[in-house]
Every structure is written in structure tokens, then in C-alpha cells.
Structure 1
Amino acid sequence: MIYKKYGKTGKEISAIGFGGMRFPKTGDTYDHDKCADIVVRANELGVNYFDTAPGYNDDHSELIMSHAFKSMKKPFYVSTKSSRKDGSKLREQLETSLKRMNLEKINFFHIWCILSLDDYRSRMVKGGAYEAALKAKEEGLIEHIVFSTHCTGDEIETIVNEGCFEGMTVGYNILNFPFRQKGLEAAYKKGLGIATMNPLGGGLIPQKADYFNFIKSEDDKNVVDAALRFNASHDEITTVLAGMSSIDEVIQNCKVGDNLVKLDQNKLKEIEARLFNSMDKLCTGCRYCEYCPKEIPVSKYMLSYNNHILGNTQDVLDNLKNHWGIKQEDVKDCIECGLCEGKCTQHLPIISRLKEIGAFEEISK
């Protein structure tokens, strides 16, 4: 496994990191033993950065990680998060995470899911999230204060230039890189460590392997390798967080981290030429939009809608029926309360997309 310096922290981080959001369910719940085996195997293969959060996998992720940590023999670092804006509530969540994972400190603690500059400012007020994290750092409960964001490149540049953080986690992949590159470069120039999430576009890249075949180079066995290698070969990017739901996926992803062959400039220009502006509007599958009061599985509809953006409306209908097993007409239960849009890290127009999906049958005939 190749290791890179995480900003100015002095830590060497594996080029492939473990994203703890994609653990597989066994029936209606999670088999902690089976899921922990996946984490342990990643550590055996050299992964030393493990990213989790309260709420991931129906609030099982931190517990699975804790179970795995007991069996891990190689040194590792832990990343978790809090989206609480109130300082006391962030402190409470931090203490819960420490207790759950049986840790004395969190190595990389994220001010989680900053959506805009206004949102960022709301975390920095007196008595707010950042102040509480800073106090916890002084007490030794946090080692490095970092942030996660889905902001634009310009917004990221503003945040990192204020100099409050040692690193960031950002949604970045082979589909949206032209829209986030400025923020990435600004963070790197400022000396921040950088972890990237959603390297596979929320699973869209492997699901549409034929469509995205153009991203492959001669060094890539498949589009998954191509997408991971694209991120990992950036000088700016410290670690690429890959959600891994099986030991086979761990082995495949770690092979990319074992042998990084950088993308040449000609290939990069070829890929960029094939992209278009709507690529930045593809749903990445973060699932923050779930828990609809009408029990609409919003994220599944949005992931299916990606097919419409890519030019095949019929595939939206086929995906709903055959992949997700949900009904097209159920989108009409939407009461337009806006809760999902308020949680969307990409600011997608979810309500209007649901309406479009409800009318697609007529369009596709």
C-alpha cells in the first residue's frame, strides 16, 4: 500500500481509505462479526484510515468499527464526525462516539457536511461547533479538527483560506472534478490533508460501466479501478475513501493503492472533453435525503433519475421496477415539505425531479 502525508499533521495515510457507510445487511440488520471481518481485512492489506459517522448504516457503523478495532494488529487512524451546530450537542455526540468505539481520542474529527458559506459561518459562532471541537482538542479528545463538505470550489477556497482546519473530506470523482478542482487545489496549497468521498459517483460508475468505459486507461482492469486510480493519483489527494461491502471489494480496491500509475494529461483532457455540466448534478447516493415523512424512498428515486440525466428515461422506469422494486406512482405521495432538499448535500431539486419521474411513463412511450 502506498502512503501519503496528510497535510502538515505528520501522519502517513494509506492511499485507499475505508469508508464505513456501505456495510451489507444480513436480513433486516447488520451482522457485526461479518462486517468487522471486512474492516479487519482492509487493515491487514495496509489500509490505516477508517472513516465512520453517527447514523451510518442505521447507526451501526461506529459499533461495527469498534468491534473490528479489537482485532486489528496494524496501526490505524479513526475519522468520525458531527453535524451539530450547537457546541454542547457536538460535545455530547463526540463523547458518544468515543465511548462506542472505546477510544481515548478521535484522530480526525469532522465538522460534518458543510453545505454553504452561511452554513460554515453558523458552525464558527461563539458557543458553536468549532469552538466545542477546539476545546475538546485542547483536552486531548480530538487530535485534528477537519471538515467535510459538498460546497463548490469557490466556497471551499474561502473556507480553507481562513485557516481553521487541518484537513477536509470532499465529494470528488472522475465525473465532477472540473467543478471541485479549484477547492481541491486551494486546500492543498494551504497545506491541508485531503480525503475524497464518493469516488465511484455513488455507485453510478460501476452500474453504468459500459457508458463510462471511456475513463479506462490501459493500466485499468475495469472502470472501478479507473475511478479509484484517478482520485488516488492526484498529488493533492491524501486518501480515497471507498465504501467496501465485501472482502472481495477490499482486495480489489487495495490493489489500486498498491500500484498507483498516474493518469497522463492527454487522458485527463480526453475525459474532461466527454463530461458535461449536468454531471455535477448526478445524485451521489449519500442518502441524507432519507426519512421522508411520507416514507418515500427518496434516494432510490434520485439514483434512478441519474439515468435520465445520462440520456435514457426508460432506464429510470426499469431501474425503479427491476432494481429497487418500488413503484413509479408512489412519488405522487410527496407533500413538498422540503425536508429532503434541506438535507441534500448537492442542493438537488428533489421535489421537481420526483414530479418528473411521475410523468416519465408518458414521455417514454
Structure 2
Amino acid sequence: MDMRKPIIAQTSFSLRLSTHLFSSSSNLAFSPLSLHSLLGLLAAGSSGPTHDQLLSFLGSPVASDLAALHSHTSNVILADGSADGELCLRYAGGVWVDASTNLKNSFREVAGSVYKAEAHSVPFRSMPEECRNQINSWVEQMTTGKIKDLLPFGLVREDTRLILGNAMYFNGSWDAKFDPLYTKINTFQLIDGSSVETPFMTSSKKQFIAVYDGFKVLKLPYKQGQDWRQFSFYIFLPDESNALPNLLMKMNSEPDFLNCHIPTEKVPVGNFRIPKFKISMGIEFSEIFKNLGLVLPFTMTGDLSEMVDSSEASQYYVSQIVHKCFIEVNEEGTEAAAASAAILTFGCAFPIGEPIDFVADHPFLFLIQDDRSGVVLFMGYLLNPLLAE
């Protein structure tokens, strides 16, 4: 099957979320792939109008397209479970179901084969706090300690019946590392016109840069692992320090924007500076998804009955969707992690000749993408490199 259209739909989903989440007072980091996968698993357990609404929200006209995308993603793009010295990538899913309830065989099969989500029987009714700790420990172990307490105290209760979740960890070294000796403090302009002093990395080596009307794009490849995949870190830098909202709107208005604006050639650089930064944050997504039009899974009128063999199944609804993400960019490369859980309760570049300046000293959008497929793993924007959380 041709993966191009499903992957464009996934990147469109990513950009739609980043635009909707924009706030002029805080940085953003999230994993659109983690969230897309979680909603895809939810769609596999839904029926009727709820199923149709989930497919529409995820940009998949038919369920088979969604299944093909995530089967390809989990089995090929995210298949590496160990480090080879240059690249470490881990991904796993889970379905935790109350011991009094049995998953439908069809849902268990899709969860395992398509979403790499292993089923676990747990005593939500009698030991909700112990179950919460168990799931949190699983997430923390999967993300090498970067995501802690995904499920906050009180979220798992006696009436919890199902929790769907996933966790992802990425650690990549730059193909051309930055020399820490050349990292210097410099000024970063904030969106309100003020500024902060922060460490910037630099290099005199040629870089993948493309210049467009109103913005520039930088591609920083990671060292390739022992297979065909190639991951890269991208910065979409508007020309003006207060122009990130306009760039986000432009990116969101063109479904294939990312693929059409990827640098393909290395060019000589003039002034070249990239800030070091770290972002750690948590987001509750249920209200955000409702505001974007995904409503039925969160209501008693929704239909999530394809998950379990139970007379209660018709009353299942999603009470919360929690997500946490961590990303750190430094001279060595990038470390990133994310986890999500759903709780169910009863244009053309300008020609380049002269050396190009790329000074990321004001707010920009960033993402980590698998270049061969176009799948976006992580996305966010940096408004202030001194704000870690």
C-alpha cells in the first residue's frame, strides 16, 4: 500500500495540534505519533458514528488506511529496541483491562499486531492505586526515566475499566556533532520583544538549509543506525522574532507543507547559531480534542463497545487523555521521550550562492522526523530556552 496519503494525514494532524496549542507564554513539546497511535487504537475499539468521527479526526477515510499506517510505523520505523552506539529508539504500547473484564479477541489482535500494545489484566476495582503505580513504572522504564508519573494520583479509580497507553524513547547523535568549546552565551529574542541570555552551539561546516519567503529551514541529520532509516531534526525559523504564529498558520493551511520545504543540499554558512534547550511538560488532551471536533469518545453516547465482552461496554467513555513529553538538544544530539494514555471509565526555495546565515535566536518550530517515510515523531516550538518546564 502507498503510505504517502496516510503519512500526509499524520503530519497534518501534527501541525493542526501545534497550531491549536500555541501559547505566547510557554514552550511546547509533544509526540504527535504517540497521540495519533493512541487515538488509532481507540478507533479500533469503537463503532458507528464514534468510529467515523475518530477516523475523520485522524485524516483516514477508512480504517484499513489507519491500520496500515500504524502497522508500518510500529513494525518498521519504530522497530529498533536497542542502541547500536549511535541511535536508540524504543516504542511499546499497552492495554490494561480490569480483571473482571475480557478483551474481545478482535481488539486484542489489532492492539498487538498493529499497535504493539500488549494486554495486561489488572485489579482496577480493588487496587486502583497499585495499578496506577504499575503503569507509571512501565512508562518510566520504557523512557529510561525521562517520563515519570504519567498518571497522576487520583486518576485511576475503582470505576476505571481500561487504560490504553504507549511510550516512546529516542536518543540520536548528530551526524556532525557540535564542539562544546565553541558554545557561547548569546541573546535570544522573546516573542514579546524582551530577550534572555542563553548558550548557543555553532559550527563552520556546511549545513542543510533552505530559504523561503518569510522563513528558513534547517535540517540536522542524526547518525544513521544499522538499517535504512534516517532521522533528522528540523528547525523552521521565521525571519521575524514575533512571526512564529503566522508561520504556524501557514504550515497548517498546506497539507503537504513539510515535504515541500525540506532542505536537500548542504550550503556554506555564515553566522550559524543554534540554542541548547530542554523542554519537559505534560498536557491533558481531552478538552483540546473536543475543541477540535472530536467529541463522541468522551461522552456516554459514544460507542467504544468493540474493546471488551461486557454488558457494561456500551457505557464506556474516555474520561481523560494524558500526555507527557521530554526533549533535550545539546552538542551531542537529541534525547526525547513521550508517553500517552487514555483512561476509560464506566512552495520553491530561493537559489543559494553566498554563505547563508542561520541564527535561531528567536522563537521557532522544531520536529524530529523519519526522512524516508516522512513520519513525525516529535514536534514543538521554542519560545524561551531558559524555560525547561
TM-score when normalising by structure 2: 0.24
TM-score when normalising by structure 1: 0.25
More strand by share: 2
